[in-house]
Chains A and B, each alone.
Chain A
Amino acid sequence: MIIVTRSNVTDAEIDHIRERIESVGMRTHLSRGEQRTIIGCIGDESLLEGVPLLSIPGIESVTPVLKPYKLASREFAASPTVIRVGGREANASFGGRELTVIAGPCSVENRDMLVATATAVRSAGATMLRGGAFKPRTSPYAFQGLGLEALRMLVAVRAQTGMPVVTEVMDTRQVDLVAEHADMLQVGARNMQNFALLAELGRVRRPVLLKRGLSATVKELLMAAEYIMANGNHDVVLCERGIRTYETATRNTLDVAAIPVLKRESHLPVIVDPSHAGGDAALVAPLAFAAIAAGADGLIVEVHPDPECALSDGDQSLAPPAFQSLMDRLCAFAAAAGRTMSVSPSSARAVA
């Protein structure tokens, strides 16, 4: 249930409305926009049947939310949500006018390669660093990531470059450890419906990057976001990363339509991972352009200083010059979509 308040509603009236709703055993969520203020009601809506909501001062309209996701739904927020990541020294945000590009290696292999990649992607205009510490690999015999050692390297490189870091958390037991080191916690596609993990992430105060499962519908993705939000953490960024289809020419099929659909259904920011979607370095740029044209709020791109020697996902990783070229060409698409980019000196030079 969504309650829209009158434009001149007072704090005391809002307190009174929320008390009436909470006194039947429901919970409320307040969203203040410039135009209007929305009070979302969470819980068993039948409890409100006997409450004459429209006669409570300050209420303009009452609408039921028919979708199974509430906190994640577009109706629950007065305006699209901007999610801030990091602290004073290293920060980024998702969902504003400026696009946010996350770049970095699939997995952290050693300190030198991480520093080299971070420096290169930052000068190309990326504002956040990615890097896997715990890797979910299809084969138990493949490289599994450096774990805590990689987390420490990410922290060191954040201090050196001023870029906030995102890394994947695979297991409920790792949540606190990863949250101590990273600015943003990633839920990988294979864990999108690991409900114990989602609930645990609801209890930490770190933004979550939630990747769409390989075979998950848009609704299932939004329900996964709802899980995190219902447990108390409202900072969720959604990520389309390609879904499994009958097509074998690409690793996955980037569901471009999911971007505007998610933006219509939800107030949460949406970014796209063109690296995993295509599984091929040559496809990263065209898929990235398509994503931004379709309204995505940012990208997450795999970059490796020497893709041929990468310990994981080398085929889809861009070398730094290719990433620089992608960022240079992306500017035109961003401008066409009414978005801005944090332009770096080197990409400004390339444009000039």
Chain B
Amino acid sequence: MSDSPRGPEALAELAQCRDEIEQIDRQIIALLSRRLTLGKRTGELKKLAGLPILDPTREAAVIRRVTGQARDAGLPPEPIREVFWQIVGMSRRVQETGDIPAPKDAGSDDS
């Protein structure tokens, strides 16, 4: 590959792209950590307000909203739905158990 005339240039840009991807992944982790912390808090608030933790109507609305947003952004809606069902599921488990690892380093990147 590096034999081609534009090989070195391409390799340099590839490394740059990978750096950027790594940064984005770190941001995603930080955002997930914040989302789960908020999930834990909503779980506590639901208990105080006497509401059930499991709220399928709310979950369905969240999924529908992100499906529309994904489509508007030109992303394939089905895989995005899968990703968000995972996130919603994680959040529900956190609300049920109140169990979440302390968000130590994860939050520091975007502050």
- Taken residue by residue from 43 to 72, chain B's Cβ proximity to chain A (1 for < 8 Å, 0 otherwise) reads as 000000000001011011101100110010
In the complex, whether B25 has a CB less than 8 A from a CB of chain A is no
**A18 and chain B: residue at smallest CB distance:** B64
In the complex, whether B99 has a CB less than 8 A from a CB of chain A is no
Whole-angstrom CA separation of A213 from B68 in the bound complex: 43
Whole-angstrom CA separation of A285 from B100 in the bound complex: 58
Q: Within the complex, what minimum Cβ distance (angstroms) separates B42 from chain A?
A: 18
Residues B56 and A24 in contact, CB atoms below 8 Å apart = yes
Residues A19 and B78 in contact, CB atoms below 8 Å apart = no
In the complex, whether A22 has a CB less than 8 A from a CB of chain B is yes
* Sample of 16 A–B contacts (CB below 8 Å): A15-B64, A15-B68, A18-B60, A18-B63, A18-B64, A19-B60, A19-B61, A19-B64, A22-B56, A22-B59, A22-B64, A23-B59, A23-B61, A24-B56, A25-B54, A25-B56
Interface footprint category on A: 10 to 19
In the complex, whether A30 has a CB less than 8 A from a CB of chain B is yes
Chain A residues closer than 8 Å to B56, beta-carbon distance? 22-25
Chain B residues closer than 8 Å to A25, beta-carbon distance? 54, 56
Residues B82 and A19 in contact, CB atoms below 8 Å apart = no
In the complex, whether A247 has a CB less than 8 A from a CB of chain B is no
Whole-angstrom CA separation of A15 from B81 in the bound complex: 11
| Residues of chain B in range 26-44 having any CB-CB distance to chain A below 8 Å | none
Interface footprint category on B: 10 to 19
**B61 and chain A: residue at smallest CB distance:** A19
**B63 and chain A: residue at smallest CB distance:** A22
Whole-angstrom CA separation of A30 from B71 in the bound complex: 15
Q: Within the complex, what minimum Cβ distance (angstroms) separates A76 from chain B?
A: 15
Whole-angstrom CA separation of A346 from B10 in the bound complex: 39
Q: Within the complex, what minimum Cβ distance (angstroms) separates A18 from chain B?
A: 7
Residues B67 and A15 in contact, CB atoms below 8 Å apart = yes
Residues B68 and A27 in contact, CB atoms below 8 Å apart = no
Residues A11 and B71 in contact, CB atoms below 8 Å apart = yes
Q: Within the complex, what minimum Cβ distance (angstroms) separates A129 from chain B?
A: 25
DSSP class of B's interface residues: helix, strand, loop or mixed?
helix
Q: Within the complex, what minimum Cβ distance (angstroms) separates B73 from chain A?
A: 14
Q: Within the complex, what minimum Cβ distance (angstroms) separates B22 from chain A?
A: 20
In the complex, whether A232 has a CB less than 8 A from a CB of chain B is yes
- Taken residue by residue from 19 to 56, chain A's Cβ proximity to chain B (1 for < 8 Å, 0 otherwise) reads as 11111110100100000000000000000000000000
Chain B residues closer than 8 Å to A23, beta-carbon distance? 56-57, 59-61
Whole-angstrom CA separation of A25 from B59 in the bound complex: 9
Chain B residues closer than 8 Å to A24, beta-carbon distance? 56
Q: Within the complex, what minimum Cβ distance (angstroms) separates A30 from chain B?
A: 6
Residues A22 and B60 in contact, CB atoms below 8 Å apart = yes
**B78 and chain A: residue at smallest CB distance:** A30
Whole-angstrom CA separation of A25 from B71 in the bound complex: 24
Whole-angstrom CA separation of A340 from B85 in the bound complex: 40
Q: Within the complex, what minimum Cβ distance (angstroms) separates A1 from chain B?
A: 16
Whole-angstrom CA separation of A24 from B59 in the bound complex: 10
Whole-angstrom CA separation of A217 from B85 in the bound complex: 33
Instruction: Identify 4 new A-B residue pairs, CB closer than 8 A, beyond the known A18-B67, A25-B54, A232-B82.
Output: A11-B71, A15-B64, A18-B64, A22-B59
Chain A residues closer than 8 Å to B68, beta-carbon distance? 12, 15
- Taken residue by residue from 69 to 103, chain B's Cβ proximity to chain A (1 for < 8 Å, 0 otherwise) reads as 00100000010001001000000000000000000
Which of B57, B61, B82 has the most A CB atoms < 10 Å from its CB? B57
Q: Within the complex, what minimum Cβ distance (angstroms) separates B74 from chain A?
A: 13
**A232 and chain B: residue at smallest CB distance:** B82
Whole-angstrom CA separation of A30 from B60 in the bound complex: 15
Chain B residues closer than 8 Å to A22, beta-carbon distance? 56, 59-60, 63-64
Whole-angstrom CA separation of A11 from B71 in the bound complex: 9
Chain B residues closer than 8 Å to A19, beta-carbon distance? 60-61, 63-64
- Taken residue by residue from 103 to 147, chain A's Cβ proximity to chain B (1 for < 8 Å, 0 otherwise) reads as 000000000000000000000000000000000000000000000
